[in-house]
Amino acid sequence: MYVCICNGVTEKDIHKAVEGGICSLDQLSAKTSVTKHCGCCTEYACKVIEEAMAQRQVR
């Protein structure tokens, strides 16, 4: 599912970024440009980062 339509960033992209060491919205934004246009995705992007980090800790 798309998180950021402006930049074509999906939940899967965010999960991969977290697996690669991304752990904050600022880092994700620098890597993918998520939240840099309209900002409508900010809240959902944060949620997906948190979910991905929680899944990573469980493994």
Per the structure, the count of domains in the chain is 1
Average pLDDT value for residue range 25-41: 95
In the chain, the percentage of residues whose pLDDT exceeds 90 is: 93
pTM over 0.75: yes
CA pair distance 55, 7, nearest whole angstrom: 24
CATH of the domain at 34: 1.10.10.1100
Between helix 42-58 and helix 25-32 the angle, nearest 10°, is 110
Average pLDDT value for residue range 13-42: 96
What is the extent of the structural domain holding 14? 2-58
Mean pLDDT, the chain, integer: 95
